[in-house]
Amino acid sequence: MSLKKIQQKMETLKFLHTLPLIAQLFEEASKEKASGLEFFEKVLTLEADAREESRVATSLKLSGLPKGMRLDNFDFLFQPSVHKDRIDSMATCEFIRRHENLLFFGPPGVGKTHLAAALGVKAIELGYSVSYYTVEELLLQMKRRPDVPLAKQRGRAYVKNALVIVDELGYQSLERSDTHLFFQFISARYMRGSTIITSNRSVREWVTIFAADEMATTAILDRLFHRAHIFNVDGKSYRLKDFDHLFEGVQRENV
Ligand code: ADP
Ligand code: MG
């Protein structure tokens, strides 16, 4: 078989990463006197690794996850209220397989978004479908098809993805209709997929987020907490760590 024919076959089989390299790989293999088996293994490995890399890159882009938030750049020494072992055990993504939820509570700047997003990255690397929204973005997405009941919106990422991260619950109070939409979202995901939620408000305050609607709040909490891992993230804001000297002697509970 000529090189040209091999290249055509590679194109048909979508061996697109190794296709432009194949002539060079042949040359190297013959120089190194590699066996047929070794050569074939090299081509397959290169192709598989490159495909995996581009799958992860594409999924990361589609997920909407904020960039640069990974577990390997999270400083656990700065954040002693979160135990690395516990996060590492979440990073296996067993919780996604079990359709369990993760809830991160804490004041602004302590790393809630970072941890949630970093677990989202892990999940993508392990092959799970992931999307990230702020509460505001999620509600906007849902309102694009208000006429279609959520149960019939199976094509939508916030319903069907294995993991959905909803960030910043509590920065704004929701109106009654948005509270209802949020309940629909939680309900659609209940026992079907994992949800990670971050909030700057404690559970006791959630009723004030949800239009003072006690029934809706209870229904949301009931479903979310049915199978949940809770993380109370505390301490100082990482954002303000370089300004520590400005706060000497100042009460800084709210930063
Ligand atoms: P929160 O969501 O709790 O308000 P973020 O996760 O957005 O806080 O953190 C604020 C900024 O500080 C982000 O840029 C984040 O990457 C960074 N950050 C927070 N905590 C840590 C940490 N322990 N190690 C490294 N970076 C951190
Ligand atoms: Mg945040």
CA of 144 to the centre of ligand 1 (A): 31
Cβ contact 74:111 at 8 Å:
yes
What mean pLDDT is predicted for residues 167-175?
96
What DSSP designation does 111 have?
A: S
Ligand 1 atom closest to the CA of 77, numbered from 1? 23
Say if residue 249's pLDDT is above 60: no
High-pLDDT (> 70) share of the chain, %: 94
What mean pLDDT is predicted for residues 175-199?
95
Cβ contact 229:119 at 8 Å:
no
Mean pLDDT, all residues of the chain: 92
What mean pLDDT is predicted for residues 215-231?
95
CA of 59 to the centre of ligand 1 (A): 23
Closest ligand to C-alpha of residue 240 is: 1
Question: What integer pLDDT is reported at residue 242 of this predicted model?
Answer: 74
Question: What integer pLDDT is reported at residue 250 of this predicted model?
Answer: 54
* Structure tokens that stand for 176 in this block: 């009654």
Instruction: Measure the CA–CA gap between 209 and 243, rounded to whole angstroms.
Output: 31
Say if residue 226's pLDDT is above 60: yes
CA of 173 to the centre of ligand 2 (A): 16
Q: Is 133 helix (H, G, I), strand (E, B) or coil?
A: strand
Say if residue 248's pLDDT is above 70: no
Ligand 1 atom closest to the CA of 76, numbered from 1? 23
CA of 108 to the centre of ligand 1 (A): 9
Q: Out of 110, 238, 243, give the residue to mutate to test ligand 1, the one with the largest number of ligand atoms within 8 Å of its CB.
A: 238
Give the pocket of ligand 1 (CB within 6 Å): 69, 74-75, 78-79, 106, 108-114, 198, 238-239
pLDDT band at residue 254 under the 50/70/90 scheme: very low
Ligand 1 atom closest to the CA of 79, numbered from 1? 23
Say if residue 72's pLDDT is above 70: yes
pLDDT tens per residue across span 96-127: 999 999 999 999 999 999 999 999 999 999 99
Say if residue 152's pLDDT is above 90: no
Q: Output b/e per residue, 93-124; b: 16+ Cβ within 10 A.
A: bebbeebbbbbbbbbebbbbbbbbbbbbbbbb
CA of 167 to the centre of ligand 2 (A): 6
* Angle separating helix axes 176-189 and 214-225, nearest 10 degrees: 20
Say if residue 240's pLDDT is above 90: no
Instruction: Measure the CA–CA gap between 55 and 78, rounded to whole angstroms.
Output: 33
Instruction: Measure the CA–CA gap between 199 and 225, rounded to whole angstroms.
Output: 14
Q: What are phi and psi of 123, to 5 degrees?
A: -60, -40
Closest ligand to C-alpha of residue 238 is: 1
Q: Exposed, middle or buried: residue 82 (CB in 10 Å: 0-12, 13-18, 19+)?
A: buried
Count of residues in the chain: 255
Question: What integer pLDDT is reported at residue 236 of this predicted model?
Answer: 83
Cβ contact 133:160 at 8 Å:
no
Q: Out of 76, 78, 113, give the residue to mutate to test ligand 1, the one with the largest number of ligand atoms within 8 Å of its CB.
A: 113
What mean pLDDT is predicted for residues 169-186?
96
pLDDT band at residue 58 under the 50/70/90 scheme: very high
- 252/46: higher pLDDT: 46
Nearest residue by C-alpha to atom 16 in ligand 1: 114
Domains of the chain: 3-63 (no CATH), 71-237 (3.40.50.300)
Single pTM value for the model: 0.89
Ranges of beta strands (E only) in the chain are 101-105, 130-134, 163-169, 194-199, 228-232
What mean pLDDT is predicted for residues 17-24?
95
Question: What integer pLDDT is reported at residue 206 of this predicted model?
Answer: 96
